[in-house]
Amino acid sequence: MRSAFLSMLGHQLQTPLAIIKGYTNTLSRSDADWDSSTLHRIFEAIEEETDHMSQLMNRLLLASRLETGELPINHEQVQLSALAQKAVGRLQPAANNHDFSVEYPDYLPTVSGDPGLLEEVIMNLLDNAVKYSPDGGSIEILVDGDAARGVTLTVKDHGVGVPRWETRRIFERFTVLNIPSLSKPAAWESASTFATL
Task: Give pLDDT tens digits for 107-132.
Answer: 999 999 988 888 888 987 888 888 87
The class that CATH gives domain 2-68 is mainly alpha
Read off the pLDDT band of 152 (50, 70, 90): very high
Answer whether 121's CB lies under 8 Å from 159's CB.
Answer: no
pLDDT at 178: 60
Read off the pLDDT band of 176 (50, 70, 90): low
CATH number for region 76-196: 3.30.565.10
Cβ-based neighbours of 130, under 8 Å, separated by 6 or more:
91, 95, 98, 139, 157
Residue 7 has pLDDT above 70, yes or no: no
pTM exceeds 0.85 for this model:
no
Would you list the domain boundaries of the chain? 2-68, 76-196
CA 112, 114, 116, 121 torsion-angle sign: negative
What percent of the chain has a predicted confidence (pLDDT) above 90?
Answer: 19
Answer whether 190's CB lies under 8 Å from 63's CB.
Answer: yes
pLDDT at 179: 58
pLDDT at 35: 86
Q: Select the more confidently predicted residue: 133 or 103.
A: 103
Q: Select the more confidently predicted residue: 182 or 42.
A: 42
Residue 80 has pLDDT above 70, yes or no: yes
Phi/psi of residue 107, nearest 5 degrees? -110, 125
